[in-house]
Amino acid sequence: MIPDALLALIRKFEGLRLKPYLCPAGVPTIGYGHTGPDVRINMPPISEPTAEAMMQQDAATFHRAAGKLSPRLWLEGDNKHAAIADFCFNLGTTRYKSSTLKRRVDAGDWQGAAEELQKWVWGGGKKLPGLVARRKAESTLIVNP
């Protein structure tokens, strides 16, 4: 089951856009931050129920992926797992896989993990307020289960 905390993070920080757009990284995106080969910049708008279904599927995918990469998350409760799954949703599992953040999570160093999250706030060479807020929300879930 997908933790409510994960869905809340995605809804809050991705926002809902029914028309396709290019995210800051230049990737075609729709709904609640949904990307992939099914998203084209010239596709017609989607409905809110379709966006919700896409988000549920994406959230489940990244929840499982985070747990596979850091199995201890399955034992640590929904909030910690949701925080790392949201990080993976936002930045991808490849970045998480090779990160110091993952090493902290795997060691159970939650304060260290919260500190590592604060380093992932840059986009296009700029510190982005939206990423600062998102990492703060994830950190809060990690240190205040």
The catalytic residues are: 14, 23
CA distance 42 to 29: 11
CA distance 113 to 64: 19
Neighbour-count burial of 9, counting CB atoms closer than 10 A to its CB (0-12 exposed, 13-18 middle, 19+ buried):
buried
The SS3 call for residue 44 is coil
Look at the alpha carbons of 89, 90, 91, 96 in this order and tell me if their dihedral is positive or negative: negative
DSSP 23: -
Query: Could you give phi then psi for residue 78, rounded to 5 degrees?
Result: -65, -40
